[in-house]
Chains A and B, each alone.
Chain A
Amino acid sequence: MPKRDHAGPPSELDVSRRGFLKGAGAALSSGIVAGAEALEAANRAAAKIIGPGKTPVTLKINGVNKALNIEPRVTLLDALRDELELTGAKRVCDRSSCGACTVIVSGKSVYACSMLAIEAQGKNIETVEGLSVAGKLHPLQQAFVDNDAQQCGYCTPGFVMACKAFLDKNPNPTIEQVRKGLGGNLCRCGTYVGVAEAVLQTAGKKGGRANA
């Protein structure tokens, strides 16, 4: 069973998860109980209500501030992919099961499908597109290439970012730590052997599957 080592998206808003918002929508349309109404009134007084229409949002992505005008229900993943054309992170399960959408927010790997874009404001967002500098692959990316750690490649950008966050935290991992720490990313093509070798190669532990 895959183990999850991903931190949940750091949450500051009371109502943060899109899944909850979707559920709340259904509850509202089927009538709301009095207690909840009172609670909502209290929340309204305390919290700033945004939306449901488009609202200005600023995201700091790979060191650059980007201004967007989006509905508050837009996830960080959809904002990256649809608004900013940063399509490295992929939408696969869209509900925190597969890791294809992994980006790094405030130093932690996060499932971008399960964080709202408005929650990510003011935070440092790193995507796979920011990893290579001036067209030169990051050593981890080069290790993925060397170890043939991608087939179709659809899980790859998410896996690369998960590995990056993992290595930042565990610069000198054992194979056991790799197997435990990277359980939050799924690959259908079966590239796990290459991924594990790529992580160990990046940590300077193994030559990997070199060209010959």
Chain B
Amino acid sequence: MPKYEWPEKSKRAVLGRRISKSDSPDKVSGRAKYASDVKRPGQLYAKFLRCPHAHAKVVSIDVSAAERMPGVKAVKICEKKGPGSEILWALDEVVGVVAVDERTAEDALQKIVVKYEKLPHLVNEQDLAGAGDRAKPAAEQVTGDPDKAFQEAEVVIEGDYGIPVITHCCLESHGQVVEWEGDNLTVYPSTQNVSGLVGQFAQPLKIPASNVKIRMDHVGGGFGSKFSPDSWGVESAHLSKQAGGKPVKTFLERDAELFVAGVRPSHFARIKLGAKKDGTVTAWEHHSWSTGGPTGGGMAPLPYVLSVPNSRKKHTAVATNTGPQRAWRAPNHPQACWLTFAALDDMAAKLNMDSLDFYLKNIQLAGERADLYRRELLKAAELIEWKKKWHPRGDPAPGHLKRGLGLGFHTWGGRGHASEARLTINPDGSVSVDIGTQDLGVGTRTVIAMVAAETLGLPVSAIKVNIGRAPDYPVSGGSGGSTTVGGVSAATRRAGQNALEELFAKVAPALSAQPSELEAVGGKVQMRDNPAKNLPWRQATARLGVTPLVVSGKNAAAASAADGKLTDQGVGGVQMADVTVDIETGIVKMNKFVAVQDCGLIINEKTAESQVLGSMIMGVCYSLFEERVMDEVTGRPLNANMEFYKLAGIGDIGDFVVHMWKDDPEQDARGVIGLGEPPVIAPGAAIGNAVANAIGVRVPQAPFTPARVLAALEKKGGLSS
């Protein structure tokens, strides 16, 4: 068995380079086909009638008029939505209709009559006292002796902070095309979980998993919300069956996409902090609450990154009649980061300390990664010119434009998930890698090709990568939690090393060498100690005769000693924001945003950087714009559309600087670690603290909209102060 490891840095021909993604040409030319672009012969279209009430009982349903409409092919009351059932959130689907085109299906929905009995609802959780029996407190957690620590603390602050529910807002909404052939189902989904969908469709449809095929080339965004077939996917399969097995296409309308297809839970907290006069933080206490819909919301990891020796933590989940939560890029971390670093920053301000010095003073609370954080803080400070630009809270400059700096830092796991790669070397020298994974647009295809190319000593263009099919290709995990890059690269590396072992055995006699003396480099198989003795790749693979070499490599989910250092977990990073706030209008503008990010061994620096940039932009979105707004009276969302559910545009983001921590041999030696989540965590903290630094007062709740900025200023005493 080969020793599985990455080549040392000086010997890498491909790893660490900057390479454009192999599927980008298809995307820029409109050739890339997404599930929502699929049109199968005879395709029908499904639409769902949705409940207008936040909480209701279904009294009766009459679908007869819809069934009679020309062009309507199937009508079905959704599972568990018949008369007598209880609906827990507005826009939940009640009846599905399949018709020859979308417009006919929409017209048919108008003909369905559903009678509801409205029940009391709760849709807003910010006021915990108003939550009544919807509030479910968890047991208190105590570490050290918080009472004593607060008594002994020289400075104590207390504050309320919050961040509302936001949505995933994938541009390609959730949906799929389903198609039956007898009892065999083919699904063209928009998913983050190609291999995992097989069983998830088979089980509720009561067919063998071996009857299900999944087909996906591209997905228009997921961010944690696309791991399952969804109730509407399964309903569509039922509807398709009812319509004689014809292909049925279902994609959510934008309002449903924003409201029922996943949200990130809110988080509110009252936080109390104790410290010594020199800045050392000694005591933490919080009572937090959150909702992610009918099941409430769990406690975020508070305090974040820094573990305070004495703490008391209380959390209350609040069940609301709103669309249910799903994993949202780095679940619970952005909330925890913002709440923690807002409170800490307020403490630094109270102590009259530069917040950078304050964090450096407390950096040992970050545990084993403290020294890396310290170095990252200093690097970020250099890039944003912290020492030159920083001022105590409240920009003293005259006029209505106030500038400020803020920072936050973060952590994430990111070990590779369980994944298998099947690598084929054909006698003609061509090479392919099959993996049942998916490329969310982060460059997974390209990374697989780069790893195979590096391992076999070939150019990247020589590797054909096949993904997005199940069960045709070996099983690979869902793309969540930054686990994909580690999983597919480790599996591909192992498959490549295994393949070389077999290939060398066939080639060695021709070079009068031992297999163990050979290496594959620069398009040749050669003797390590005597490169002049070599066979060009195609001559080497011709030794396979007529049978292709098909070899697997597997990465296990959990670390084991045999893994070597192909993948690891645990990264950190520091972000610093420089903003200008107009205290007359309340508008916050990004000037500059710096991210320093470690992530182990980098395979493709260009796409790694793009992950950080994309995360920072998403961070600007949720810091300044994004918020789901619910109508207290009707229980319906007020902004389930893209003009009032706001995302940042190209003009809102300012100048970005990304510094990848790649020149540190210690980090490189850890192997590949995922990067999808970590950089999206700290923007709220960095931007929120920059706003406070600029205007001299805390804006306690994200997003930092003009209304909230002006309200905070008013509380402080208006423009004059």
Contact B616 A131 (CB under 8 A): no
19 A-B pairs, CB-CB below 8 angstroms? A94-B253, A95-B642, A97-B641, A97-B642, A129-B31, A132-B29, A145-B21, A151-B614, A152-B440, A152-B441, A154-B171, A157-B29, A179-B650, A182-B650, A188-B169, A188-B170, A188-B647, A191-B614, A191-B617
Please determine whether B19 and A211 come into contact, CB atoms closer than 8 angstroms.
yes
Q: How far is the CB of B468 from chain A (nearest CB, A)?
A: 14
Give residues 431-484 of B contacting A (CB, 8 Å): 440-442
Question: What chain B residues lie within 8 Å of A149 (beta carbons)?
Answer: 28
Stretch in A6-14, A42-50, A117-125, A193-201 touching the partner: A193-201
| CB closest chain-B residue, reference A94 | B254
B617→A160 contact, CB < 8 A: no
Q: Given A185-B650, A211-B20, is A157 in contact with B171 using a C-beta cutoff of 8 Å?
A: no
> B27 at interface (Cβ–Cβ under 8 A)?
yes
For the complex, give the distance between the alpha carbons of A73 and B34 in Å: 25
The winner among B27, B33, B221, B642 for most chain A CB atoms within 10 A is B27
| A196 CB contact (under 8 Å) in B17, B171, B220, B650 | B650
Known contacts A129-B29, A137-B28; is-contact A183 B649 (Cβ 8 Å): yes
**Residues of chain B contacted by A145 (CB below 8 angstroms):** 20-21, 24-25, 28
Q: Tell me whether A212 and B18 are in contact in the complex, defined as CB-CB below 8 angstroms, given that A188-B647, A193-B613 are known contacts.
A: yes
The smallest C-beta distance from B44 to any residue of chain A, in angstroms, reads 12
Query: A63-97: which residues lie under 8 A (CB-CB) from chain B?
Result: 71, 73-74, 78, 81-82, 85-95, 97
Residues 639-654 of B at the A interface (beta carbon under 8 Å): 641-643, 646-653
Bound-state CA distance A43–B439 (Å) is: 53
The answer to whether B103 touches A73, judged by C-beta atoms less than 8 angstroms apart, is yes
Tell me if B563 is interfacial: C-beta within 8 Å of chain A: no
B606-A150 in contact (CB<8A)? no
Cα separation A188 to B621 with both chains bound (whole Å): 9
Cα A207 to Cα B109 with chains together (Å): 53
CB-CB contacts of A111-143 with B at 8 A, as 1s and 0s?
A: 000000000000000011101100001000100
User: If A92-B171, A195-B650 touch, does A190 touch B220 (CB 8 Å cutoff)?
Assistant: no
Question: Within the complex, what minimum Cβ distance (angstroms) separates A203 from chain B?
Answer: 15
**Residue from B221, B442, B616, B647 within 8 A of A154 (CB atoms):** B221
- Contact of B656 with A92 in the complex, beta carbons under 8 Å: no
Query: A156 an interface residue at 8 Å Cβ cutoff?
Result: yes
B69: CB under 8 A from chain A?
Answer: no
Residues of A within 8 A of B102 (CB): 78
Shortest A113–chain B CB gap in Å is: 11
Q: Does A105 have its Cβ within 8 Å of any Cβ on chain B?
A: no
Please give the distance in Å from A176's CB to the nearest CB on chain B. Answer: 9
Known: A157-B30, A190-B618, A192-B649. 20 other contacts (CB 8 A): A1-B625, A1-B646, A2-B649, A2-B652, A74-B103, A87-B30, A88-B29, A92-B642, A100-B171, A129-B31, A144-B24, A145-B25, A151-B610, A154-B221, A182-B650, A185-B650, A186-B642, A192-B648, A193-B617, A212-B18
Is the C-beta of A209 less than 8 angstroms from some C-beta in chain B?
A: yes
Interface pair A1/B649, CB less than 8 Å apart: yes
| CB proximity of A50 to chain B, nearest CB, Å | 16
Tell me the bound Cα distance from A74 to B656 in angstroms.
Answer: 42
Q: Which residues of A contact B610 (CB under 8 A)?
A: 148, 151, 191, 194
Tell me whether B19 and A144 are in contact (CB under 8 A): no
B586 to chain A minimum Cβ distance, whole angstroms, is: 12
Specify the chain B residue showing the minimal Cβ separation from A89: B30
**A210 in the interface (beta carbon within 8 A):** yes
User: Chain A, interface size: which category?
Assistant: 35 or more
B384 CB within 8 Å of chain A? no
CA distance A196 to B24 in the complex (A): 17
Interface residues in A154-198 (C-beta closer than 8 Å to B):
154-157, 160, 178-180, 182-196
Q: Does B321 contact A (CB under 8 A)?
A: no
Contact of A95 with B614 at beta-carbon distance under 8 Å, contacts A87-B30, A211-B606 already known: no
B417 CB-CB contact with A under 8 Å = no
Q: Is the CB of B650 within 8 A of A157?
A: no
Which chain A residue lies CB-closest to B221?
A: A152
Please give, as numbers and ranges, the residues of chain B lying within 8 Å of A71 by CB-CB distance: 103
Given contacts A145-B25, A150-B24, A179-B651, contact A189 B614 (CB under 8 A): yes
Tell me whether B254 and A92 are in contact (CB under 8 A): yes
Contacts of A212 in B (CB 8 A): 17-18, 605
Find out whether the CB atom of A95 lies under 8 angstroms from the CB atom of B17. Answer: no
CB pair A152 B28 closer than 8 Å? no
User: Which residue of chain B is the closest to A179 with respect to CB atoms?
Assistant: B651
CB distance from A35 to the nearest CB of B (A): 27
Scoring B440, B616, B647 by chain A CB atoms within 10 A of each residue's CB, the highest score goes to: B647
Give the Cβ gap from A68 to chain B, nearest Cβ, in Å.
13
Q: Chain B's nearest CB lies how many Å from the CB of A16?
A: 18
CA distance A90 to B33 in the complex (A): 11
Would you give the shortest CB distance from B112 to chain A, in whole angstroms?
16
- Bitwise interface map of B from 330 to 369 toward A, beta carbon under 8 Å scored 1, else 0: 0000000000000000000000000000000000000000
- With A81-B37, A148-B607, A195-B650 already in contact, the answer to whether A160 and B172 are too (CB < 8 A) is no
Is B32 interfacial (CB-CB < 8 Å)?
yes
Interface residues of A (CB under 8 A from B): 1-3, 71, 73-74, 78, 81-82, 85-95, 97-98, 100, 127-129, 131-132, 137, 141, 144-146, 148-157, 160, 178-180, 182-196, 209-212
Inter-chain contact A194/B613, CB cutoff 8 Å: yes
B contacts with A, residue count (CB < 8 A): 63
Task: Give chain B's interface residues, CB within 8 Å of chain A.
Answer: 17-21, 23-25, 27-34, 36-37, 39, 101-103, 169-173, 218-223, 253-254, 440-442, 605-607, 609-610, 613-618, 621, 625, 641-643, 646-653, 656
Cα A74 to Cα B173 in complex, Å, equals: 20
Contact indicator B615/A190 (Cβ below 8 Å) = yes
Inter-chain contact A97/B643, CB cutoff 8 Å: yes
Which B residues are in CB contact (< 8 Å) with A151? 440-442, 610, 614
Contacts of A189 in B (CB 8 A): 221, 441, 614, 618
A97-B641, A193-B617 known; A3-B651 Cβ under 8 A: yes
Chain A residues within an 8 Å CB radius of B30: 86-89, 127-129, 157
B172 neighbours in A (Cβ, 8 Å): 90, 92, 152, 154
**Is A153 a contact partner of B650 (Cβ separation < 8 A)?**
no
Closest 10 CB pairs of A and B: A88-B30, A190-B617, A2-B649, A154-B220, A190-B614, A153-B27, A151-B441, A152-B441, A87-B37, A97-B642
Which A residues touch B103, using CB under 8 A? 71, 73-74
For B38, give the chain A residue with the smallest CB separation: A87
Nearest CB in chain A to that of B20: its residue: A145
Nearest Cβ on chain B to A193's Cβ, whole angstroms: 5
A185 to B33, CA, bound (A): 20
Q: How many Å from the CB of A207 to the closest CB on chain B? A: 12
How far is A183 from B20 in the complex, measured between Cα atoms in Å?
25
Q: How far is the CA of A89 from the CA of B220 in the complex (A)?
A: 13
Complex CA–CA separation, A22 to B617 (angstroms):
35
If A145-B25, A209-B606 touch, does A155 touch B641 (CB 8 Å cutoff)?
no
A103 to B618, CA, bound (A): 26
**In the bound complex, what is the Cα–Cα distance between A182 and B33 (angstroms)?**
25
How far is A131 from B649 in the complex, measured between Cα atoms in Å?
A: 24
Residue of A nearest to B219 (CB): A152
Taking the closest CB of chain B, its distance from the CB of A18, in whole angstroms, is: 11
- A210, B18: Cβ atoms under 8 Å? yes
- A71 to B104 CA separation, bound complex (whole angstroms): 11
**In the complex, which residues of chain B have a beta carbon less than 8 angstroms from the beta carbon of A94?**
253-254
Query: How many whole Å from A129's CB to the nearest CB in chain B?
Result: 5
* Closest partner residue, chain B, to A144 (CB atom): B28
Q: Which residues of B contact A196 (CB under 8 A)?
A: 650
Does A153 contact B441, Cβ atoms closer than 8 Å? yes
Cα–Cα, bound, A129→B33 (Å) = 12
Give A157 to B25 CA distance when docked, in angstroms: 11
Q: Known: A144-B24, A150-B27. Is A186-B647 also a contact (CB below 8 A)?
A: yes
A148 touches B617 (CB 8 A): no
Query: Contact at A93–B24, with CB atoms within 8 Å?
Result: no
For A156, A160, A183, A194, which residue has the most chain B Cβ atoms within 10 angstroms?
Answer: A156
